[in-house]
Structure 1
């Protein structure tokens, strides 16, 4: 299945506040197989744009995020 998401530039994401990260993920949650709880976890941990760009699979699976494997990949 081909997923069509318009991705912002790295420069744009570097300017994002945690609410911007949550908004982007929320508007693409079906395409990214995310649940509201997954997005809430990132928002509650105040993941900003620069922090979002540095997230890895290992970080998403571990504390404090502990996302399920499917959405984390």
Structure 2
């Protein structure tokens, strides 16, 4: 009936995040707007990029690009 989600927010401008070698990849300018480009795990799942092999031929690079090829 109810769904609960755990969300972890990271401030890319915080000095502790910038100095941590495991997390500071999020500080790169190329990582901005990951949500809007469908690069998060949930976005990749909704785009169908979790599948490999038979049946996934027309998924990459995008469904729209695959349809334009035909």
Name the TM-score, length of structure 2 as normaliser.
0.27
- Tell which has more relative contact order, 1 or 2 (C-alpha 8 A, sep 6+): 1
Name the TM-score, length of structure 1 as normaliser.
0.27
More helix by percentage: 1
Q: Which has the larger radius of gyration?
A: 2
